[in-house]
Structure 1
């Protein structure tokens, strides 16, 4: 996130880092990503770590813990060296509470490299490298902690309420009115999207270990030509198309995956997860703008995300 959390005491971080036997000489906020908060810690010798603080009201602590444990097992036990996994604290855990109810912390190795950005268009050679990583991941036996990732929409109830209760004004902040108007203008598109989602959601498929969000923003080009996948909080069991729709841009990409795995991707499942991503994003942005918010860089990014996603949904609806 670009905005620092208003109600978070950064003084909690240094003593918590002691659980990883890290004595931080510097601790700098890193305004990157969308959803969690990040710092870069460094000791007096110059060694660095990437510190992530998650608001576990957005997801359960136990759910995030299972995801972190899964990523660690994929790296430690399955030997997947492209997994940037959380480090274990002295007691063996990968996620620690910072307070009783809201914030929890993980610590990651600091990896040098060039990060991508969400929405980047990867060239064919880069897509091929990522597809090869996904093929290896999908062929890996699931570690015991691996959570299931049902296909249902997380924020569906809130989105349907916003479509249904159009007479109630949104009063959360400066984007509330414009967002409500935008949702009303796209109500037909959203209802058709939900209907199409329900039609596609019953497709059968054998689940594998999936990353969940292998888009360019979670791809790091490391020295020596290595490619690393970041942000494993969405890891879980689902059909391969949960990952593939974000990477495969051509039939050649899908053929490469099929040759590597012996499994031909299902066009209907690819369409399902593409639609699911868009509807989930809209639901999250609706919850954001119906609640308290200010005119901050993160709110502006959310607004751009909402308008862009609705444009894409309108295109899908008309095709």
Structure 2
């Protein structure tokens, strides 16, 4: 099978990560890359790391690219673009995987509270499948439009899915997610806060009053265990890393459930989830460049609280890798196709 692929907004970090992953995919053929700012520039000139891999591709404005010849189009664009440009492609029967937030939140009014736009294609929100691969494999396989999850929601939700499926989180206790992300999570754009001199040798919290991934995380939690997401406290931090995301979650269970055994059993046959031995501590560098989520579960000393640790590469399992994983599921391919990547060390 040869899947013809277009990437809209391919000049960002998730765009180049998609290109890196698809370059080694046995069934992928990238035929179109778009960018208005880099139009008419050769892809291999813009990204020297891709020299010799995509020498035939030139950035084009979306309206001039051969998107109508694609089987699937990835939107690696800022929020607010896919909701305008995806519907004409969907009308032609083309599959869409959107890496922005445009179709993630089912409640349109709630989405508009967190994003500064009026949604222009709300009719497609109901049809979109939330692309958390390990949760929605069956629906993803039948979908035309995938809303690829955000990086924080992926890192937080994956360890909690087995507990939510069993409704075993304590109903009236706070659920705390203390999270850290590398600078690439902010995207490839000019921003004073992302400058080397600002980020290096520094550590800070942000979005304490409300991060836009909060309603997305709560939506998943509440879907599986009603109202539990309302107990969530989510605090993100910026760390002096390029890649990497770490979530430390503090949870309490009911009826004596052991989170470790539930999580280990749930993910026994999941190729991209590594439930580590008791007492282990996952590191962000242990997943760098790979489509992996490593999870550790430990009891808090002298307490009925469990500490769950989760790490991903925010650009791979938190974005482009999960998008390719979803593409594999959509087209009936092996889920691991093109994604059998060993993490980079050092």
Do these two structures clear the TM 0.5 threshold for a shared fold by scoring above it?
no
Structure with more strand by fraction: 2
Structure with more helix by fraction: 1
Q: Kindly indicate whether structure 1 or structure 2 has the higher relative contact order, using CA contacts under 8 Å at least 6 residues apart.
A: 1
Normalising to structure 1: TM-score of the pair? 0.29
